[in-house]
Structures are given as C-alpha cells and as structure tokens.
Amino acid sequence: MTGQSGRAQTPPSAGIREGGQGAPAVEERALHERISDLQAENAALRHENAALSSIIDTLKKGEDHYPQIFEGALTGDFVTTVDGRIIACNPAFTRIFGFASVEDALNSRILECYDDPGERDTLLMRLQRAEKIENEGRIRRRRDGTRIHVVENMVGRFNADGELLEIRGYVYDDTDRRRMEEALRESEERFRMVLENSLDVAYRRNLQTDHYDYMSPAIGEILGFTPEEMAAMDQDEVMDRIHPEDRPAVEGVLCTSALRERALLIYRFRAKNDRYRWLEDHFTATSDPDGRPLYRGGIVRDITNRKRTERELARVHRDLESAHREANLYLDILTHDIGNTENVSNLYAELLVDSVDGAAVDYVVNLKRSITKSIEILGTVTKIRQIHAGSPTLQPTDLDAVIQAEIIHFPQILILYAGTRVTVLADDLLSEVFTNLIGNAVKHGGPDVTVTVRVEVAEGGFIRVTVTDTGQGIPDDRKEEVFRCYERKQRRVGQGLGLYLVQILIERYGGRIWVEDRIPGNPGEGAAFVFLLREGDGAPVWPGAERVER
C-alpha cells in the first residue's frame, strides 16, 4: 500500500543506523566517563578522609599526652608574656622557684624570679634579635629569696610583623652541680697550692713520650733544675744522673714497675751543681687495660740530711756500744772485784773492833759503818744492773709472803700489817721494794717510827699497796723529786739510789708509784708511799680487802 504523495515513509531509527552513531550515543559515552571520574574522586576523597581521620586521632592522642608530658617534666617549663606575666607553667617550675602551687606561680610575675630585674630587658632584646637562647646559666632567686643557679632555654613567639608576643622555655636547677664544681675547683686549687709549696717534689712522667709532663717547682730547691729543664730530659739523661752504684737497682725496679702499682726507690741523683743528693722516690705506675705502661707519677723527697743523720747515728751507736762494753767492764770491776775487797775489809774491821781500846774503837766502828754502806751501795748497783740487763720474767707472786719476810728484817720498829691473800705479777726482786721503803722510813723517822703496810684491791686489775710512816714527812715540792735524788750532783753518798731502785722495779712490773701525805694536807705528819701492782692471773682476792678507786 502507498501514500498519496507517492513517497515511502522512513522510520526515525533508520537514519541513525545509516548515518553513524548519532547524538544519543555521544551523550551516553560522556555519561559513563563522568561516572568514572566521580567514582575516582569519591575514592580519593575516601582515602583523604581516612588520612584526615588518622591525623585527627594522632592529634587527639597528642593532646591527651601533652598535659602528661608537660605536667610530669623534670624541667621547669613556662610561658610568659613580654610584660612578665606567667601564663603557663608546670609543677617542676613551681618546685624550682619555690612557689606554693601552679596557681601561686600564675598569680606572680617572672621578674620575681630574677636576681637582677634589669637582666629581663636584656634577654628580651636578645630574643627579638636571635629568636632563641640556648643553655645559658643564670643566677635566679627562689620565692624565699634563696639564690639558685639554673640553666635556661627560651624561644620567642612572634606575630606576622615580627613583634615578640610571648616567651616559651624551660629551666633546670643545677645549683648542686655548680656547688660540686666549685668545691672541686677549690679542692684542686688547694691541692695545687700544696704541691707548689711543698718541700717534696710531685711529678708525672709520660711513658709514651718518655718525658715529664709535670714537675712541681720544688725541684729547683732540691736539684737546681727548673721544671722545664727536667721535662726536657729523656730516660737516658735521667739515668745518667743517677749514681753508678745505685743505677742497677733503679733500672731493675723501673723495668718491673709496670707489673705492680706502687714502688719505692732510694738513690743518689746528680744535681745541677754536680753534687749528689739522696732522693726517696715513692711512685705509682699506671697502665692501660692491655697492660701497656702509660704514666709513672709520684713524690720525691730529699733525704740527704736524713742520710747524714743516719750515718752519724750509726757512728754514735758504735761509740755507745763501745762505751757500754767499757761501762760493763767497770761495773764488773765495781760489783765483783771491789765488792770482794769491801767484804774482806769489813771482815778485818770486825776483827779490829775486838782488838783495840779507847778512842781507836770509835774509829774502827766508823770504818766498819763506812765499809757496810759501801757494800750496800754496791748491792744496789748490782740489782739496778740486773734490772736493766733484760726483760723481766713475771709470774704470780704471793704478796703476803714477801711482806712478812721483810717485816722480820726490822725487829726493832713497830710495823702494822693486817695480812692479805692476793697474788701479784712480779719477780724475785719484789722484796727490794719493801726493803727500801721500810728502811727509808727507819732512816728518816728514827727508832720510834711506826710503819703501816696496807693492801687493797683497786680497779682495772691492780692491787694498791700503801707504806706509811710517822716520820718527818716529805714537803709537796719534793714529792716528785725524791725518786730522782740520785741525779743531783750535790748529794750524800748513796742518797736516792734506793727509791730510784723502787721506782724502776714498780715500772718493771707494769705499775706506778707516787708519794702522798700520811694525813692529807699535813706533810710534816709522815709520808705515804703508794704503788700499784698488777693482780696475778687467777689470783684469789681476799674477801675482806677494801675495793678502792685508783
């Protein structure tokens, strides 16, 4: 069937297929491309959003930790305005400067912490120029006025025009460290002054360079060299100045000094004037961990005068030994040969008493008395020599038996003694103590004298013995002297030897002796010789003995 116009009708799609893709296809493709772009943008946004979320989380964590770091810091952290207001600080800041609390600090001004308020303006100008101040020590003041030394670090915060807005920083208190440094410096200065002014020479020799790297000035007084001249000497030059006789020993010690820390050398060293001086060298060797010698340091002392004194003492000692042998010879002659002669003379004097009449009898009696006195003196000298001959052999001795035996020797006088049951450390010469003390009382007190012997237990393991008499007593100014009368040039024959013998015997037994008044405060009413003897080991103590203070 056909239309009235005679032309066939064509569908709209037929034109698109025949003429290419057409407008709708282009639009579809553009739509797909736009969707792809949007998807890519969306993916990028999601990635960026995830990154931002991570950053936000990190910032939140940082914000959570920042107060903890700020509050718990050991340094004193602070923020101040230019006009000095403290707008932030941590507890460490308050502790350093002595504020009661953070709030107390925030209500204060930073100038209160300055020892010199004018220093604040200088710091602000420096911050304006350099923007920061690093590790500078300052004197600051605590709230109570105490001065402290701190180390400060500060940085400025500025606006866009470069104007300083606030100061942030931290400080730490190094007062203790500064005090230690000052103490160390003072100690080093004192030590150096001691070294520089000492008569001894301090030195240190560098064993790697083979030269002295320190020598105190005293070397000039001893050897005549300056420290610089000594520092220029190498080992060979030093050894060449040591006396040839001493050199082998010195070399031997120096070779082995690395194997030990300390050593002592004594040698002669040729001084600048070519005279030898005796030196005593105490040194210490220092090595590295591998045992390699590094330094040898020590103290050198000039002992030349000491050596001279030692030689002189050795000579005197030889002379004394010779004199001692000679004196012993004289004592042997005195106590043996003359003693025998005196005994024979005494025998003849006794025979003469019965052979003469009239006035001659008095002469013979006086002669016999003199000979007897001479025999007594020789006996005392013999005992003193025996005491000085060597160390005593002491043993527990029955004190009562010794006293009773001596009392029998003086039947002509009244001796009061109550007895005792103690033992003392002594030897067979203990009886001489009582012989001389009782005999001395009879000699100076006459036949009517009364002697009292009293024994008491004293503290400290001692026995106190007192021998009193009713004689003429001893003046206070002679109580010490009576034991040394033998030393006086103007004394009677034999005077003082007995009491000297008593004193050295008591000291030989480990005790001491002194004189008191029989009646305290009345020297003319008799004397009391008091001495202490050591109590014998395991000795029984008489229950009735009175315990007294020494």
Rounded to whole angstroms, the Cα distance separating 263 from 544 reads 63
The DSSP annotation for 449-508 comes to -EEEEEEEEESSSEEEEEEEESSS---GGGTTGGGGGGG-SS--TTTTHHHHHHHHHHHH
392-548 and 73-179 share a CATH fold: no
Residue (of 459, 361, 378, 465) closest to 420 by Cα position: 465
Rounded to whole angstroms, the Cα distance separating 343 from 410 reads 23
Tell me the CA distances in angstroms from 283 to 136, 202, 286, one per residue in order: 43, 10, 10
pLDDT, tens digit (0-9, with 9 covering 90-100), for 291-335: 788 888 899 999 999 999 999 999 998 888 888 676 666 666 665
Determine contact, residues 253/265, Cβ cutoff 8 Å: yes
Q: Which residues of 264-296 are buried (b: 16+ CB within 10 A; e: fewer)?
A: ebebbbebeeeeebbbbbebebeeeeeeeeebb
Q: Among 51-65, 81-95, 311-325, whose mean pLDDT is lowest?
A: 51-65
Helices marked H in 280-389 — which ranges?
304-332, 339-353, 359-388
Rounded to whole angstroms, the Cα distance separating 292 from 410 reads 84
Determine contact, residues 286/296, Cβ cutoff 8 Å: yes
3-state SS assignment for residue 416: strand
Residue (of 346, 350, 344, 337) closest to 382 by Cα position: 337
Domain ranges of the chain: 73-179, 198-302, 309-383, 392-548
Q: What is the pLDDT of residue 186?
A: 84
pLDDT, tens digit (0-9, with 9 covering 90-100), for 153-187: 999 999 988 899 999 999 999 988 888 888 888 88
> In the 3-class helix/strand/coil scheme, how is 357-384 assigned residue by residue?
CCHHHHHHHHHHHHHHHHHHHHHHHHHH
Task: Look up the CATH superfamily of 73-179.
Answer: PAS domain (3.30.450.20)
Rounded to whole angstroms, the Cα distance separating 92 from 75 reads 6
Provide the pairing of β-strand 522-534 with 462-469.
antiparallel
What is the length of the chain?
550
Tell me the CA distances in angstroms from 142 to 76, 80, 339, one per residue in order: 13, 17, 94
Q: What is the pLDDT of residue 450?
A: 94
Compute the average pLDDT of residues 497-521. 88
Question: Is 80 exceeded by the pLDDT of residue 18?
Answer: no
3-state SS assignment for residue 78: strand
- As beta bridge partners, residue 301 has 280
pLDDT, tens digit (0-9, with 9 covering 90-100), for 528-537: 999 999 998 6
Q: What is the pLDDT of residue 67?
A: 59
Rounded to whole angstroms, the Cα distance separating 473 from 444 reads 9
Q: What is the pLDDT of residue 465?
A: 96
Q: From 3.30.565.10, 3.90.1150.10, 3.10.310.10, 3.40.50.300, which CATH number describes the 392-548 domain?
A: 3.30.565.10
Q: Say what percent of the chain tops pLDDT 70.
A: 78
Burial of 219 (0-12, 13-18, 19+ CB in 10 A): buried
Q: What is the pLDDT of residue 328?
A: 64
Provide the pairing of β-strand 423-426 with 395-398.
antiparallel
Q: Among 6-10, 185-189, 527-531, whose mean pLDDT is lowest?
A: 6-10
Rounded to whole angstroms, the Cα distance separating 401 from 434 reads 12
Domain 198-302 sits in CATH at 3.30.450.20
Q: What is the pLDDT of residue 153?
A: 94
Determine contact, residues 133/118, Cβ cutoff 8 Å: no
Rounded to whole angstroms, the Cα distance separating 251 from 240 reads 11
Q: Among 3-7, 47-51, 444-448, whose mean pLDDT is lowest?
A: 3-7
